[in-house]
Amino acid sequence: MSDIIVTDKQLSSSAYSAVINLPIEKVDIAEWLFSLPEAEYQRCCPPDHISAGSTTTDDGKRMSINVEMIGKTLMVQHYVAEVATPTLCKMVSTSDAFTPNGRTRVQVIWTLSVKKIDENSCEYTNSVVAHPTQEFLDFIKTHGMPFEEAAGARQRDGGDHNSRETPLFAASIERRALARSQSKAA
């Protein structure tokens, strides 16, 4: 499928941060993301998070598949890793959006990063930016919805979702890092 991404228009952008009470050297975002159990994903933003799993593209790039509700829209995210390191994951998806008016597609860029605060803590940032596809622009036009109204709804709903999942993701990353440290020490 060939989607035309309209990069000069933005549906939404939000970034939230939370503290991880571990040295940055103990954190591995990529390891956490690509080994995240479905039940843990669900705990990171109930009741919005429905399912998650890891796979690869045909050419071997790592992927995270996430199914979640953003407001009244069921999103199936097909995140492909552009960067996957212990301190930074940049994931890009052309996502299926099942809205009350029907199905369309949007691009979502999910950036997970961590930066050092001090020797014992670091700051996790969860950033989400959404761009329309041409299909999305045609979809909202067919339904008589101005772009500004669609973007406003996505900003409201996406920002709310991100604000709730960020501290829970940070806590999950911290738990995973602690468990990995304890298993190495045993």
Give per-residue pLDDT as tens, 35-51: 999 999 999 999 999 99
Question: Percent of the chain at pLDDT above 70?
Answer: 98
Task: Say if residue 1's pLDDT is above 60.
Answer: no
- In Å, the largest CA–CA distance within the chain is 61
Residue 82 structure tokens: 């552009």
pLDDT, one tens digit per residue, over 56-95 is 999 999 999 999 999 999 999 999 999 999 999 999 999 9
**Which pLDDT band holds residue 183 (cuts at 50, 70, 90)?**
confident
Please report the pLDDT score of residue 186 as a whole number: 67
Question: Do residues 38 and 68 make contact, with C-beta atoms less than 8 angstroms apart?
Answer: no
- Phi, psi of 111, rounded to the nearest 5 degrees: -115, 120
Please report the pLDDT score of residue 2 as a whole number: 65
pLDDT, one tens digit per residue, over 114-126 is 999 999 999 999 9
Q: How far from each other are the two terminal CA atoms of the chain, in whole angstroms? A: 48
Task: Say if residue 184's pLDDT is above 90.
Answer: no
SS3 content of the chain, % helix, strand, coil (to 5): 35, 45, 25
Section 158-175 average pLDDT: 98
Residue 27 structure tokens: 């954190």
Section 3-32 average pLDDT: 97
**Which pLDDT band holds residue 182 (cuts at 50, 70, 90)?**
confident
